[in-house]
């Protein structure tokens, strides 16, 4: 399908009013944050194509990757690199060009910029300089996974990539054990196994999980079930560990949240008992963490009896 037809079909339908993009949206001296496909090039929006071919410069996470995308759609706009390792001078040059009257588009390698991708520093600097920053919405692995996961989406928290080091990863997961919102993570193929094992250890075997592998791509695959089954699914076939992953994890229910809070309180009491009596440690912990003093006291006593 050629670009002209794509643009025409994207705005077809009686329920849509004629927009600027349909008649040829005019770019102005602004920063355009442009979403690009996460795998399937058919997800490239007509407006994104129009903006990318109309601006004077495209700031790209990887110019080689973006050059392939632009070439596919016959776009010859000049590229400049902007990524996690860019220094402040790179931001300054882009801001200067916009202030000089040029329109600049910001893209990442795939999906919506700033969602676990570079861009924050540039957007912040542009706004601080009084530059208009405009979103050009489109594909996002985050929303793609959420809408098919079959888990609550009215409230969720996006955690991005977990730390690569085991200690830091465990600390992050420990802090999320009692989180009641749906949790969303990104993960790389070489860490997906240890990530799921860590989730199993912290959240338990029965916590529901959705795994989206290679979303919108040729070998797209979904898993939906409990964490214990997810670990077995991953190990059953080496192909299951290939590609890019989005993991959507069920939030903690109220009973689980209360139990997790009590377990944290018990750990705190154990530390305080090295310096004070159990009764005082329980009283201080219940006040500080907001848990029932009587319930905490009973749990600590029960734990002591098990150890005797």
| DSSP line for 165-179 | SHHHHHHHHHHHTT-
Mean pLDDT of the chain: 90
Same domain, 189 and 209: yes
Domain termination residue (choose one: 84, 105, 139): 139
* Structural domain of 47: 21-139
Domain termination residue (choose one: 114, 139, 164): 139
Same domain, 259 and 164: no
pLDDT digits 0-9 by tens, 121-169: 999 999 999 999 999 999 999 999 999 999 999 999 999 999 999 999 9
Tally the domains of the chain: 3
Please report which helix (H) or strand (E) contains residue 52, including its range: helix 46-54
CATH number for 96:
3.40.1010.10
Query: Cα separation of 123 and 134, whole Å?
Result: 10
Query: Cα separation of 246 and 183, whole Å?
Result: 10
pLDDT digits 0-9 by tens, 30-64: 999 999 999 999 999 999 999 999 999 999 999 99
Query: Cα separation of 82 and 106, whole Å?
Result: 8
**Above 80 in pLDDT, residue 7?**
no
Is 15 a domain residue? no
Is 33 a domain residue? yes
- What are the structure tokens assigned to 18, written together? 């004629």
Is 129 a domain residue? yes
Is 101 a domain residue? yes
Enter the pTM of the model. Answer: 0.81
**Above 50 in pLDDT, residue 23?**
no
Is 2 a domain residue? no
Q: At which residue do the structure tokens 């208009």 appear?
A: 132
pLDDT score, position 20: 46
Higher-pLDDT residue of 139, 305: 139
pLDDT score, position 2: 56
Query: Cα separation of 243 and 289, whole Å?
Result: 41
Judge residue 283's burial from the number of C-beta atoms within 10 Å of its C-beta, 0-12 exposed, 13-18 middle, 19 or more buried. Answer: middle
Same domain, 177 and 269: no
Query: Cα separation of 139 and 42, whole Å?
Result: 10
Dihedrals φ, ψ of 254, to 5°?
Answer: -65, -40
Identify the DSSP state of 117. S
Evaluate whether 213 touches 240 at the Cβ level (below 8 Å): yes
Same domain, 121 and 170: no
- What are the structure tokens assigned to 299, written together? 């749990």
pLDDT digits 0-9 by tens, 70-101: 999 999 999 999 988 888 899 999 999 999 99
Is 10 a domain residue? no
Same domain, 131 and 153: no
pLDDT score, position 76: 97
Same domain, 265 and 227: no
Say which residues have a Cβ less than 8 Å from residue 203's Cβ, sequence separation at least 6.
Answer: 173, 177, 227, 249, 252
Same domain, 240 and 266: no
Query: Cα separation of 140 and 111, whole Å?
Result: 5
Say which residues have a Cβ less than 8 Å from residue 230's Cβ, sequence separation at least 6.
Answer: 196, 200, 209, 211, 223
CATH number for 195:
3.30.950.10
Same domain, 243 and 274: no
**Above 80 in pLDDT, residue 9?**
no
275-301: average pLDDT: 88
**How many Cβ atoms from other residues are within 10 Å of residue 232's Cβ?**
12
Same domain, 74 and 165: no
pLDDT score, position 5: 53
C-alpha to C-alpha distances, 197 to 58, 164, 194, 204, 286, nearest whole angstrom: 40, 13, 5, 10, 32
Query: Cα separation of 237 and 251, whole Å?
Result: 28
Same domain, 159 and 187: yes
Dihedrals φ, ψ of 156, to 5°?
Answer: -145, 160
Is 9 a domain residue? no
Query: Cα separation of 116 and 99, whole Å?
Result: 27
223-240: average pLDDT: 97
Name all contacts of 62-66 with Cβ < 8 Å and 24+ positions apart.
62/109, 65/109, 66/36, 66/107, 66/109
Same domain, 132 and 27: yes
Q: What residues pair up with 80 in beta bridges, in sequence order?
A: 59
Say which residues have a Cβ less than 8 Å from residue 220's Cβ, sequence separation at least 6.
Answer: 39, 212, 213, 214
Is 4 a domain residue? no
């Amino acid at each position: 399908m050629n670009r002209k037809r794509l643009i025409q079909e994207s705005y077809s339908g009686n329920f849509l009013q004629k927009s600027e993009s349909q008649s040829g949206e005019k770019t102005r001296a602004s920063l355009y944050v442009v979403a690009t496909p996460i795998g399937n090039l058919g997800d490239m929006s007509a407006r994104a194509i129009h903006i990318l071919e109309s601006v004077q410069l495209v700031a790209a996470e990887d110019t080689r990757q973006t050059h392939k995308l632009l070439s596919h759609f016959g776009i010859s706009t000049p590229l400049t690199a902007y990524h996690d390792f860019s220094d402040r001078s790179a931001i300054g040059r882009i801001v200067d060009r916009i202030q000089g009257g040029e329109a600049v588009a910001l893209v990442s390698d795939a999906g919506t910029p700033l969602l676990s991708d570079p861009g924050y520093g540039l957007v912040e600097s542009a706004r601080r300089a009084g530059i208009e920053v405009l979103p050009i919405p489109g594909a996002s692995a985050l929303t793609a996974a959420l809408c098919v996961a079959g888990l609550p989406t009215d409230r969720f928290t996006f955690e991005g990539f977990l730390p690569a080091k085991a200690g830091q990863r465990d600390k992050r997961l420990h802090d999320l054990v009692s989180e009641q919102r749906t949790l969303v993570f990104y993960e790389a193929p070489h860490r997906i196994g240890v990530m799921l094992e860590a989730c199993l250890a912290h959240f338990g075997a029965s916590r529901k999980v959705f795994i989206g592998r290679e979303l919108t791509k040729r070998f797209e695959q979904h898993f939906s079930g409990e964490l214990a089954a997810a670990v077995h699914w991953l190990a059953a076939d080496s192909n299951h560990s290939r590609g890019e992953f989005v993991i959507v994890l069920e939030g903690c229910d109220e009973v689980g949240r209360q139990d997790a809070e009590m377990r944290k309180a018990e750990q705190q009491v154990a530390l305080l008992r090295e310096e004070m009596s159990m009764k005082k440690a329980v009283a201080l912990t219940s006040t500080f963490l907001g848990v029932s003093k009587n319930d905490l006291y009973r749990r600590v006593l029960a734990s002591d009896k098990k150890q005797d």
